[in-house]
Structure formats: structure tokens, C-alpha cells
Amino acid sequence: MLQALIFDVDGTLADTELVHLAAFNHAFAEVGLDWHWDVPLYTRLLEVSGGKERIRAHWTERGDMPQDIGDGNELNELIAHIHELKTAAYAQAVQDGHVQLRPGVLALLSAAADAGLRLAIATTTSPVNISHLLQRGVGSHWQRLFAVVEDAATAPRKKPHPQVYQQALQRLGLPAAHAMAFEDSANGLRAARAAGLATVVTPNAFTAHHDFTGALQVLPSLQSLTLAQLHQWNAMPSSTSSPPAIGTPPCP
């Protein structure tokens, strides 16, 4: 029986990536870097999970940036500083109302909570980003809504590694067969599937080109999705064993 729903955050609960992109570019300007990530470049960098990891990946691949600074920790400190500036810019944008929950998200969260399903978060983003987004999108009670929150602070091994989902399941005290994951990217899908979770994927403009083989369902959004459908899909023999075919759900 389905007992819990586990959600990714960025791109799944809300379309955040354009705001993250603007925040990265703001941070680069703040520290005097002449970098400017455009949408195609950022789309490619999203293949790397984690903001600090994306900065480091771009630093390395450019070829014109020093690979050793000072005693070896200076580069780490610079990347951490850039990421702090980026996080602050993102938080301000969220507070200013530039990020909204994706269609159907709030309705599904409310229906699941009312039905007694436990809700959890499994994300590679930072705790402060989660807090700002859900405070704005869900309300001050968001921490009571989610029984478990696993994030970049608690699960340092980034997706596609399954650590964040494995820890979420452990804290929920549930086997994977009694939970379902919600993702938007190939890395997220791989992480959830590696933890044994049936996974519903709702791609966005930055991830629509990804390979979602192995997803339980690939949907344009969570709008009109019902708990009855989730229970039906979870009961299918293939939901957590062999990857089923990707499809579009029947109309409720």
C-alpha cells in the first residue's frame, strides 16, 4: 500500500531554474567574474547536480581559469562565497514572488496530507533554498506538512547517487514499495530508481530532452493527478521492479 510521497524540489515542486540562473549570474558579477551563463549553457550544466558542483565544473572546463589557488583551499572558499551570494540572490527573488509552485503541486500535497499519506523531500538543494521556496509557496506550516526533509546538508552525495532517497526512506521507516518519488530530471530519476522507488516525472523546459526510461509515468505536470491514480500505479507489479514503459495517464 502506498504510504508516502517523496518530492524533489527544484524543477519538480516549482519552476525555479530561470531564477537560479539569474542568481548565478548576479553572483558572478558580484565577485568580478566575467562569466555569463545563458540558457543553453545552464541547461547543459544542470547535468551536474549541485550549485557548487556546477560552478566548479564550469571553472574546470573553461580552460582559462587557474586550477590551483593559494594553498588549495582558496578555490573552495571562492566557490563557496559565490554560492552564498547566489543563494542570497535566489532567496530575494523568491521573496519577491518570482517563483511559483508548478500546476497541481499544492492540490496534490493537500490531498495526500488529508488522506494520511506522509510527505517527504529528497533534494540536492540547500536547506535555505527549500525554506524560502516552501515558506512562500506552501505557507509557514510547510515544516509540519513534510515528515522528512533530506537535502544537500544531510545527503552530500548528489544525485544520481541514491543517498538522499535511501535516507528519506530510512527516516520514514518504509520500504521503497510503500512510497513513490516525484522528479523532473534524468539524474533525479536515476537516484530514485536506484533506491527502488517508482517515480513520476514531470519534465520542464530545462529537462524535457532527458532520457526518462524507467519512469512510472512522464506527465506534463501534476495538475489533475489524483491519489486514486497513484494508488493504482503503485499497485502495478512493475512499479518498483522492472522499468515500465513511459506513458501518459488516462483522464481521471
From CA 119, how far away is CA 146, in angstroms rounded?
5
Query: What letter would DSSP give residue 210?
Result: S
Conformational region of residue 116, where left means phi above 0, alpha means psi within -120 to 50, and beta covers everything else: left
| CA terminus-to-terminus distance, the chain | 20
What amino acid is encoded at 237 in this protein? P
Q: What is the DSSP string of 8-73?
A: --BTTTB--HHHHHHHHHHHHHHTT------HHHHHHHTTS-SHHHHHHHHHHHHSSS-S--TTTT
Strands 148-150 and 118-122: parallel
Please indicate whether residue 96 is annotated as part of the active site: no
Of the candidates 8, 15, 151, 184, the residue annotated as catalytic is 8
Please indicate whether residue 68 is annotated as part of the active site: no
Catalytic residues: 8, 10
